[in-house]
Each structure stands twice: as structure tokens, then as C-alpha cells.
Chain A
Amino acid sequence: MSDDARLDLPNPAPRPEGELELLEKVWATPKGWRIVTAVNNTVIGVFYIGAALTFFVLAGILALIMRTQLAVGDNNFVSQELYNQLFTVHGTTMMFLFAVPAVEALGVMLLPQMLAARDLPFPRLSAFAIWAYVIGGLVFFSTILYDLAPNGGWFMYPPLTLMEYSPGDNADFWLLGIGFIEISAIAGAVEIVVGVLRTRPPGMTLSRMPIFAWAMLIFAAMIIFAFPAVILATMLLEIERAFGWPFFTAEKGGDSLLWQHLFWFFGHPEVYIIFLPAAGLVSMMVPTFAQTPLVGHRLIVVALVATGFFSFGLWVHHMFTTGIPALSLAFFSAASMAVAVPSGIQVFSWIATIAKGRERFRITVPSLFILGFLFIFTLGGLTGVMVALVPFDFQAHDSYFIVAHLHYVLVGGMVFPLFATFYYWAPMVSRKMLSERLGRWTFWLMFIGFNVAFFPLHIAGLAGMPRRVWTYPSNLGWDTLNMISTIGSFMIAAGVLAFLIDLAKNFRMGSGAPENPWGASTLEWLPNDVYSTRSIPHVTSRDPIWDNPNLPREVEEGRHYLPGVPTGARETIVTSPIDARPQYVIQMPGPGWMHLSAAVFTAAFFLLLTVKAVTISIICGILAIVSCLVWAWQLDKPSQGEVDIGAGIALPTYRTGSSSHSWWAMVVLMIVSAALYLSYLFSYLYLWTVSPEVWAPVGSPALPALGYPLGTAAMLVLGAVILAVRQRSLPREPKRDVGTAIAAVTASALLIGALALEIWGHWQTGLRPTASSYGAMVYMGAVLTVQAAVAVIIMCFFAAARGLTRQLTRERRVTFDNAAIYYYYTVAQGLLGLLLIHGFPRLAG
């Protein structure tokens, strides 16, 4: 036993009477239909997984329809038009409505328990994310039922998806429909980054953090950098479709390859966003079934990090056949091979752990799915290295070989670990475990069915069968392979059905399942209830339950940190990012209606815009913002002084400044905004290299006189200075704060004035956004800064309102600080934009 284990336990026993009852009362979940207002991560997590599973089944049904159509040649089971919608909705649903939400759901459900936190740091944010996703996702999916589904493939390439070739609302459903998915994903990323780095239990240093926490941290970081590229791409395409700004139209200096760059810059990391959490889960389960610590723990951490980074250098491997120079292709080919090394490290580590097990590796349903994952994912990885070779990909691109490869890596790499997860972690949230018998039927049907369905497609692809064809001639020798594949797909469906039967028979939400039935070592297997653990443990190793078998009892007796609710409300401990030193206690919100209302109106805003119901869409948007403001008004509770968490440690209950969780969330949001703006910067420079002939001063009206950008810059800087000065002179005591209100209004007015001047400057030169890709890009820069400005003005007015209602002081200042730092970011973005728009053409011209 380590030295640290001989430390005295933080809190004495027995615990005061009524302490546990108060803990239960404060963390109780709403009953009956009010469950929709719940924010507890276990409740939201189960809803989230349920929704993701529903979309998996729905998209799977679409796959069965496609496989039926392709079972024989010259078939007309479905029309060509419907088939195009089927493969588009299947792919989009699987990638956006199943895969990413499913792993996010597991993060929501499992991370707080693995980190012995009482909940995620922003509980209502996850609840908002799931409701926006459920409502928006169901409406999006339903478009397949009334011929309104998008039909340009899940990657929606222009020019096919421009108005000329896709005139209906179908493409708009995709573009605007995944808008709320993007918001959900980013909301989740904020939660996870702050949760993993700041709400670990005391003593759980980075080196002792569970692998799944590492995987989710990297997942969240990847979302932060990858999603903005597709957000920009969808904005550009929707604006071109709606208003004719020619970003992707070659005749006016645009380039459809720009879409591909933006989409795949997101799209390749996306598949690792899906895979890495699954790999993290496998890394948690394998040691349990081998009953030995993970071999190469450090190597796996390194492999996860390396995969996360390298995956951003692969995107052009989806574009090998587009005519890009070979040397550029070689960079991406090399990176595509390099990324296989860390994946291989993980696979060998798992195999080594299985081999090193103190007992024989236990074969259970979860471990069967893990073995199945190893087999299938490795095969997918091998074909991945094949297609990383440029000359081979020239032949295999857009053939069924790629369809086979992608399903091997995604189904093998994510779906199989997911099913292992269901069986392994069900006892955490269900009163009964799932059935071993039915589970084995599920596994074998899915495993055999999968290989029967997809292995022949490698051969079909090499035999020349292209992707996304609704039928094929019977005389090309593809019939038998397709028939075999179709039979396999129905076997997979039978396996999934067996699983659904198992769920219906055995899954019952609530506690009562066997405690730690697998003999695992990590904290989520401590005794749990609605409040997570009775006390938050002091952690001294990577396998805390194995290293201290008394830990469950100690925690349940309230002997560790924060066994009660000293503030009388929901709270958890915030610790430092590397060493997990306790820093303060967050006061967290409980159930409510406003985040639900915000989610409903956010989804409605996007979906009504899609069908061009603009007025009602705007009303819904305003209601979404109002809901968010009411929701935010309920946060930022005043300090309740210091509270004793045990071991003589007294922690404050309010924190402001750069170590506060709220500040960290704002920093993450700023990184997302910056990634969005950098994607725009890339797009601007890229289009210049493609079409310099439409750029000012040669191909477009001359730039405005320098007075315009200088005036804009002056107003931006002045607004920032006003807020910075006010930041140093907030009132000491709560009082009606008119000074902050004046500063906020003035800074907002300066921001509006600056942007109006910038836009007017270009307008009065005669430059129009529809004239050329240059014009479109100039005005797009303003659009992006206006977008940030709208958010920051709302935040400034919110802070002003807090000041006027005596809720803003030098100590209680989070709302003002958040508005101020985002204002400074907006100013920095605006200044960079001015340099680009007004400086670059003068330099290049």
C-alpha cells in the first residue's frame, strides 16, 4: 500500500444525522412527466443513449432497404430518387445523429461517475444539448418519409447541392438541420473539457486519470477544432443557396473544392472523434476482464493524443482524385500511414493486457464484443493503410472497397465497443443486468452478419462496383456478392433485434443491480445514488478499488470529501488541472424549464428557416435567446463563504477570474470562434489562389479609403478600453450599478458603429457579395464578426442588468468578466479581419 493510503481519512464517522437525507433531497430527480426538466447526468445520459440508439435503428432500417434494392441487379424495389435520399439520410443519421451523440452520451453518463464528481460542471448545458438534438434529429430524419430528405450524399458536395441542381428544400434540411447538432456537440465539448480538467477528485492527478477521461478530453478538443470548419462550410453553402453569394461557383471565382477542404477538415477528425471514445472504453474494460492493470497505460495515453493530432493532417486523403499536385497528396498519404502507428500501439497494448491477465481472460458478452472489435477494426485498419497509398486509392476511390473499409473501421471501431459498453455498464443505471444468453445471440448474429455483409463488398469494389448507385446491370458479376451482403445485413438486423428484446425484458432504470459485478477497479463502480457517491474519494492510484478494497465502504460511510451539502444546494469540488488540488466548490443548478425551452426554440429556429418560414423562425430565435437569458439569470449564485470539505480543507464557494470554471468555458468558446474565423481566413486565401483575377484592385471595385478601416479599428479599440477600465472599477458593495450599464451600452454602440462603418465602406465602393467570390468573402468576414458581436452585445446587456439589480460587485463579477473577455475576442477578430480585407489585396495587388 502506498504512503498516501496511510493518510487519515478526511472526515470522521459516524456522520451527522440528516446529512444523507439532505444529500438525497437536494439531488432528487423530478418525478413523473417532470422528468423532462431533469439535469442529473445519469438521467440525461440514459435519455441521450436512448435517442442515439433510436437513430441507429432508424438508420439501420434505411440500410436494409438499400441492401434489398441492391440484392439483385436491375432492381426497382425503390426509385433512383428515393435511393439517393436513403444513402444520404443513412450516412447523415449514422454520423451526426447516432455516432457522435452516442459517445457524447457515454461521456455525460459515465464521466462524472468515473471522476467521482456529483455531476458535470454545467448540468443544464448537457440537458439543453440533448433536447435540441432529439427534437431537431427527429424532424430531420422524418424528411425521408415525405420526399424532402437531402439527397446529395452525407458530405453534400457542391455543385450538386447548389440551387441549380438541388432546387428544393432537401439540401437546406441538411444544412440547417445539422446546425443544432453542431451546437449540441460544442456544448458537450465545453462540458467535457471543463469536467475532465477541473472536477476530478482530489489526488487524481493527470497520470492517475482513467483512460476514458483522456479519450473524452481529446474527443472534446477535436470537436472544438474540427466542427467550426463544417459550421463555416454549411453557412457558406446555405448563404450561396439562399442569397447567391458565389463561394462555390467557378464562373464567379468560387471553387467547389473549397467545400471539400472545409468538409473533410472536419470529416476526417470526425471519424476519430467517433473512434477514440470507443477505444477509451475498451481500455477500461479489457483490464477488468483480464483482472490486471492496463499494460502500457502511458503508451495508450500517448497513442490517443497522437491520433487526435495526426487525424487533422489526413483530410486530403478523401480528395486524392481531385487533381491536387502529387507532392501535396504525399504529405497526407504519409500522415494517413503515420496515424496507423498509434492505433496499432493501442491494439498491441490490449492484446498484451489480455495475455498478462492474472486469471484466464473471462469470456462474457462485453468481452466477446471487445474481441469482435479487435478483429473487425484491425481489418479495417489494414484496408485503411491500403487506401492511404495514393496510386491504390486512385483505383479504389468511390468504389465499394471504400464502403467496406469505412464500415469495418466504424462498425468495428465504434459499434462493437458500444455494445460491449451497454452490457458492461448497464448495472450502473439499471436495476437488472442484461442477459448473457440473449447477449451472446446478439453478438454472434452481429459479428457473423457483419462479416458476411461487408467482406464481399471489398471484392465488389475491386471488381469495379461504384458507390452510391441505385442499381447495377446483372451481367457484370456483382450479383452474388451483393446477395451475400444483403443476407449478412439482415443477420445484423436480427442481432440488433435480439438486443432490443433484451433491453425490453431486462433494462429497468434505477439502482439495485449487483455492486461492481465485473470486479472492476475504477470509481464509477463505487456505491452510487442520485448524488453520485456519498463522499468524493481521495485518489492515490490508477486502480483505486483494487489498491484499496476498503474504498467503497469508506466512501459510502461519508469518510472522504464533501459528504454533505454545506451550501444546501447541488455542489461538487473543483480541483486544479494537473495535480487535482481542491480549489473551490461549485454551486450548481438543479432541474428547470428554461434550458428545455431554449432547446425547443433553438431547434424550431433552424427547422423553420429551412422551410423559409422566416418570420416565425425569427420569433423562435428570439424566444430561444430569452430562454437562455432567464436560464443564465438563475446561475451565478452569490458566495456562501467557505465550506469545510474534510481534512481541514476549507474551500470558497465562489470563484472568479482565470481559474474559474466559467472562465474556462468562455475560453473554450473563444477557441471555437477562433477556429471558425481561421477556417474563413483559409477560405479567403484559398479562393485568392484559385481566382486572383476577381480580387481587388484588379478584378473588383477598389478598396474603401483607409479612413474606413482606421475608423472601424478605432471604435473597436475604444469599446475594449471602456470595458477594461470598467473592469477595474466595479462597485465594492452590491448597489444599483449605473456605471456598468453605461459602459456596456457605450461599448455595444461602438461595436455596432464599427461594423456598420465597415459594411458601409465596402457597399459605397459598389462591391456586392453576389458579384464574385471576392465580394462574397469580404462581406462574409463582416457576417462572422457581426455574429460574434450579437452574442457579445447580449452578454453586455445581461451584465448591465445584473449590475442594475445589485448582483454585480468586485467579487461577484463572473457575468461581467465573461462579457468582457468575449468582447476583447470580438475586437481581436475584427482587427484581424480588417488587416486581411484591407491589407492583403493592397499587398498582393
Chain B
Amino acid sequence: MERFSQHRSATGALVFLLLGPLVWSIHFFIIYAAHASLCALTGGMGTVWITVIILAVTALGALALVSAALGPMPVYRLLVRHPGGDEETRFLIAGMRLLAGLSTLAIIWGGTAVLVLPLCAQLR
């Protein structure tokens, strides 16, 4: 019997596992950077583009993660370059799904703020 499982890409496995938090990080960066810079550049007046960007990135991020969580194997095979089916694969997929779930929650939580607050006001 085999002492060790078949080789898999370490970088690919870590990226696969961390898909959720990585997408959350990109989402967070875009919404904060877009909001802060567009408010600064419009002198605090704001622009509809703030809403468009935030909602679009939120929807895309959530959709990407839900898709990956529902159908992980194509992404797994692409990134990890391993056929799957072993204990480690199950661990990585379960971890990816749970992290994707938490990250989707955080993405929606953050992004939907644009629907309830004015664009550039301080509110103090």
C-alpha cells in the first residue's frame, strides 16, 4: 500500500482552500478604495458609480463563491492538479466550502451597506 498520496500542487491547494477569503479581500479592497477615492475626487458629492461598483462587485464576488462551493471539483482539478478522491481532497474541499460560506456572508454584509447609507456623508 502507499505510504504517501499522489503529488499535488502546494500553491494550487492553498489558493483553492483560501478561495473564499481571497475573493473577500479583493471585494473589500475594491469597495473601500472605490468609495474613498470617488468621494474624495468628487469633493464629497458622490456619484452613482459608487453604488454601481459596490453592488456589481458584491454580486460578482458572492456568485463566484457560491458557484465554487456548489461545484468545487473543476476548480480543484484546475488549481491543485490532482484527481481527488482521497482524505486530503475531502479536507480541502470541506475547508474551501466553509470558508466560501463565511466569506459570502461577509461580502454581502459589507456590500449591502450601500443600499442603506448615503454615499459620502459623515452623518455626525
Contact = CB atoms under 8 A, between A and B. Distances in A.
Interface string A1-25: 0011011000000000000000000
A342 B24 CA distance: 15
Interface in A277-318: 298-299, 301-302, 305-306, 308-310, 312-313
Contact of B3 (A203, A323, A341): A203
A30 interface: no
A331 B1 CA distance: 52
Contact of A206 (B88, B94, B120): B88
A326, A341, A577, A578: residue with the most chain B Cβ atoms closer than 10 Å: A578
A342 B35 CA distance: 27
Contact of B120 (A299, A327, A342): A327
Interface residues of A, number: 49
Contacts of B21: 305-306, 308-310
A328 B36 contact: yes
Interface stretch (A177-185, A332-340, A493-501, A549-557): A332-340
Given A326-B122, A331-B28, A690-B40, A298 B8 contact: no
A151 interface: no
Interface in B69-98: 87-88, 91-92, 94-95, 98
Q: How large is the interface on B (under 10, 10 to 19, 20 to 34, 35 or more residues)?
A: 35 or more
B3 A202 contact: yes
A207 interface: yes
A406 B4 CA distance: 46
A835 B32 CA distance: 23
Contact of B119 (A197, A327, A647): A327
A291 B12 CA distance: 36
Given A325-B120, A331-B32, A341 B102 contact: yes
B18 A334 contact: no
Contacts of A331: 28, 31-32, 35, 110, 113
B98 A206 contact: no
Nearest to A579: B5
B65 interface: no
Q: Is the interface of B mostly helix, strand, loop or mixed?
A: helix
Given A334-B109, A579-B8, A4 B98 contact: no
Contacts of B105: 338, 341
B68 interface: no
A88 to B, nearest CB: 29
Contact of A325 (B28, B35, B88): B35
B120 A338 contact: no
Given A312-B25, A327-B113, A576-B10, A298 B94 contact: yes
Nearest to A682: B33
Interface in A329-370: 330-331, 333-335, 337-338, 341-342
Interface string A559-588: 000000000000000001111110000000
Contact of B28 (A305, A313, A685): A313
Contacts of A840: none
Interface in B1-50: 1, 3-5, 7-8, 10, 13-14, 17-18, 20-21, 24-25, 28, 31-32, 35-37, 39-41, 44, 50
A124 interface: no
A763 interface: no
B93 to A, nearest CB: 10
Contacts of B121: 325-326
A335 B108 CA distance: 10
A737 to B, nearest CB: 33
A441 to B, nearest CB: 41
A337 to B, nearest CB: 7
Contacts of B50: 327
A301 B41 contact: no
B99 interface: yes
B86 to A, nearest CB: 9
A302 B1 contact: no
Contacts of A690: 40
B8 A306 contact: no
Contacts of A312: 25
A690 B37 CA distance: 10
A234 interface: no
Nearest to A309: B21
A323 B117 CA distance: 15
A30 B121 CA distance: 65
A576 B7 contact: yes
A579 B88 contact: yes
A181 B35 CA distance: 35
Contacts of A306: 20-21, 99, 102-103
A305 to B, nearest CB: 6
A4 B1 contact: yes
Contacts of A325: 35-36, 39, 44, 119-122
A469 B121 CA distance: 32
Contact of B106 (A206, A207, A338, A579): A338
A210 to B, nearest CB: 14
B66 interface: no
A302 B122 contact: no
B114 interface: yes
Nearest to A581: B4
B13, B41, B109: residue with the most chain A Cβ atoms closer than 10 Å: B109
Contacts of A310: 21, 24, 106
Contacts of B113: 327, 330-331, 333-334
A579 B10 CA distance: 9
Given A325-B121, A394-B124, A579-B7, A689 B37 contact: yes
A84 to B, nearest CB: 28
Contacts of B106: 310, 313, 334-335, 338
A578 B87 CA distance: 12
A528 interface: no
B73 to A, nearest CB: 17
Contacts of A595: none
A795 B85 CA distance: 45
Given A309-B24, A323-B124, A578-B13, A298 B91 contact: yes
B37, B94, B102: residue with the most chain A Cβ atoms closer than 10 Å: B102
Contacts of B10: 197, 576-578
Nearest to A333: B113
Given A3-B1, A331-B31, A337-B109, A342 B102 contact: yes
A205 interface: yes
A295 to B, nearest CB: 15
A269 B32 CA distance: 18
A219 to B, nearest CB: 16
A197 B113 CA distance: 39
Given A313-B25, A325-B36, 7 more contacts: A325-B44, A325-B120, A335-B110, A338-B109, A341-B102, A577-B10, A577-B13
Those 6 A-B pairs whose CB atoms lie nearest each other, nearest first = A207-B91, A309-B21, A330-B113, A577-B10, A689-B40, A338-B106
6 contacts: A298-B91, A328-B36, A335-B109, A341-B105, A577-B13, A578-B10
